[in-house]
Amino acid sequence: MGARPRILFLCTGNSCRSQMAEGFARQLRSDVIQAFSAGTRPKGIDPRAVEVMREVGIDISGGSSKAPEDLDVELDVVVTVCDSAHETCPTMPGAPRIVHVGFDDPPRLASGAATEDEAIAHYRRVRDEIESFVRTLPGSVIGDAW
């Protein structure tokens, strides 16, 4: 086992799911991985994502929405966390492995909500699913050989 693997969480806007994954990874798994996030079309951090992460004691408000090419790091694994990013995933130099773990899109689901409580419930559910996934890292994406 060498250095901690460098994992990029990639979604379309780098506004919600990938930011949540990076936040959980930095909080819960920084002893075993180095976490980054980016988007294929960055658009700024979703305020509801910030809100639901604060509820579990993780502050992602200081993060920034960025493209993969904005990162100056050689990656070991790219984890696409949305179907769109998976379909349009750019070639990532230095990232020998790309893994897809799709999560529902909270903003899309919340757009049909009748109330703010109903809207935020979608964010909470996806947040909890992302947390469960992040707790399995790095083995779930790299295997036990790392």
65 touches 36 (CB < 8 A): no
Tell me which of 11, 38, 60, 85 is the catalytic residue. 11
| Backbone phi, psi, residue 119, to 5° | -65, -45
89 noted as active-site residue: yes
Tell me which of 8, 77, 82, 95 is the catalytic residue. 82
11 noted as active-site residue: yes
| Backbone phi, psi, residue 11, to 5° | -135, -170
Which residues 6+ apart lie within 8 Å of 141 measured at CB? 7, 77, 79, 97, 99, 101
Distance CA 119, CA 96 (A): 37
Distance CA 138, CA 75 (A): 13
Tell me which of 32, 56, 89, 99 is the catalytic residue. 89
Catalytic residue IDs: 11, 82, 89
